[in-house]
Amino acid sequence: MLCGLCACSNAPQNSAQPVQFGAGFNIPTTAESVPGGDKDVTDQADTATAANADASGTTDTAASTADAGVAVDPTADAAPGPDSTASGDAGSASADAGPTGDAGSTGDAGSTGDAGQAADAGVAADAGLAADTAASQDTGPTPEGCTDNDKDGFGVGCANGPDCDDTNPHFSGLCPDCTKANYPGCPCAGGAANCYSGAPNWIGKGACQAGVQVCSGGFWGECAGEVLPLPESCNGKDDNCNGLVDEGVLSSCGTCDMSCTLQSLGPNGATPFDPTAASSNGVGVDKNGYVVLDQTKVNVDLNHIWVANSSQATVSKVDTKTGWEVGRYAICGNPSRTSVDLNGDVWVGCRSGGGVVKIINNKKNCIDKNGNGKIDTSADTDGNHMISPNEMVSGDECVQFTVFPGGNIARAAGVDKDNHAWIGFWSAKKLYRLEPKAGKTVASVALPCSPYGLVIDQQGVIWVQGAGCGLVRVDPKTLTTQLFKPPFSYSAYGINVDMFGNIWLGGGWGAVRYDPVKNSWYKSPGVGSSSAVATGMDGYTYVVNDGPSTVTKINSLTGASQGTISLGSGRGPHGVALDYDGYVWAVNLSKSTVSKCDPKTMKVVGEWPVGKGPYTYSDMTGYTLNNFTAPKGHYTHTFGFSSWAGRVAEAKTTTVWSEIDADVETPAGSYVKVRYRAGDTIKLLEAQPWSKELGPFPVATFPIDLTKLGAAKARFLQVEVFLQAASKTKLSPKVKSLTAKGKQVFVP
DSSP code of residue 499: T
Q: Report the C-alpha gap between 80 and 624 in whole angstroms.
A: 106
pLDDT single digits (tens) 247-271 = 877 776 777 777 788 889 999 877 8
Q: List, in order, residues 6 or more apart from 726 with CB less than 8 Å away.
A: 667, 668, 669, 670, 732
| DSSP notation for 393-435 | -TT-TTEEEEE--SSS-EEEEEE-TTS-EEEEETTTTEEEEE-
Closest CA to 614 of 267, 247, 328, 336: 336
Rounded CA gap, 721 and 661, in Å? Answer: 11
Topology of the domain comprising 260-295+631-746: Jelly Rolls (2.60.120)
Nearest by Cα to 281 from 739, 729, 723:
723
Kindly tell me if the per-residue pLDDT of 62 is higher than 80: no
Asked which of 124-133, 211-220, 228-237, 282-291 is least confident by mean pLDDT, the reply is 124-133
Residue 141's pLDDT band (cuts 50, 70, 90): low
SS3 assignment, position 167? coil
CATH topology identical between 260-295+631-746 and 304-621: no
Over 80: is that where the pLDDT of 37 sits? no
Distance CA 698, CA 696 (A): 6
The answer to whether 320 touches 585, Cβ cutoff 8 Å, is yes
Tallying the residues shown for the chain, one arrives at: 748
pLDDT tens-digit readout, 176-213: 999 988 999 999 999 999 999 899 999 999 999 999 99
AA identity, residue 577:
A
Strands 260-265 and 734-746: antiparallel
**pLDDT range class, residue 74, cuts 50, 70, 90:** very low
Higher pLDDT, 6 or 655: 655
> At 672, is the secondary structure helix, strand, or coil?
strand
Q: How far apart are CA 332 and CA 557, in angstroms?
A: 40
User: What are the tens digits of pLDDT across the range 502-549?
Assistant: 999 998 888 999 999 999 999 999 898 899 999 998 899 999 999 999
> Can you point out the beta strands (E) in 97-246?
192-196, 211-216, 219-220
Q: How far apart are CA 68 and CA 59, in angstroms?
A: 26
Q: What is the DSSP string of 482-494?
A: EEE--SS---EEE
Is there a contact between 628 and 458 (Cβ–Cβ < 8 Å)? yes
Backbone phi, psi, residue 651, to 5°: -70, -10
What's the CATH superfamily of 304-621?
YVTN repeat-like/Quinoprotein amine dehydrogenase (2.130.10.10)
pLDDT tens, residue by residue, 348-375: 999 999 999 999 999 999 999 999 999 9
Determine contact, residues 565/553, Cβ cutoff 8 Å.
yes
Listing DSSP states for 545-582 in one string gives ETTTTEEEEEETTT--EEEEEE--TT--EEEEEE-TTS
Work out the average pLDDT over 569-596.
Answer: 96
Measured over all CA atoms, what is the biggest interatomic distance in the chain, rounded to whole angstroms?
A: 141
- The residue among 299, 340, 415, 350 whose CA lies nearest residue 577 is 340
pTM over 0.75: no
The model's confidence at residue 657, banded by pLDDT at 50, 70 and 90, is: very high
Which of 396, 235, 275 has the alpha carbon at shortest distance from 331? Answer: 396
Q: Are 496 and 575 in contact, with CB atoms under 8 Å apart?
A: no
68-72, 319-323, 440-444, 489-493: segment of lowest average pLDDT: 68-72
Residue 491 has a CB neighbour count (10 Å cut-off) of: 12
The predicted pLDDT at position 15 comes to: 31
Q: Is 57 exposed, middle or buried (0-12, 13-18, 19+ CB in 10 A)?
A: middle
695-to-293, 671, 672, 673, 700 alpha-carbon distances in Å: 18, 8, 7, 5, 5
Residue 175 burial by CB count (10 A; 0-12/13-18/19+): exposed, middle or buried?
A: middle
Q: Is residue 609 a contact partner of residue 330, using CB atoms and an 8 Å limit? A: no
Q: How far is CA 170 from CA 73, 124, 174, 184, 197, in A?
A: 19, 15, 10, 8, 19
CA distance 714 to 697: 26
- Distance CA(491)–CA(513), nearest Å, equals 13
Q: Please report, for residues 302, 338, 342, 569, the alpha-carbon distance to residue 299 in angstroms, rounded to integers and kept in the order given.
A: 8, 21, 11, 37
DSSP state for residue 321 in the 8-state scheme: T
Nearest residue to 551 via CA among 515, 601, 513, 592? 601
Q: How many CB atoms lie within 10 A of CB 147?
A: 13
C-beta separation of 440 from 358 below 8 A: no
Give me the residue spans of the domains in the chain.
260-295+631-746, 304-621
Rounded to the nearest integer, the mean pLDDT of the chain is: 80
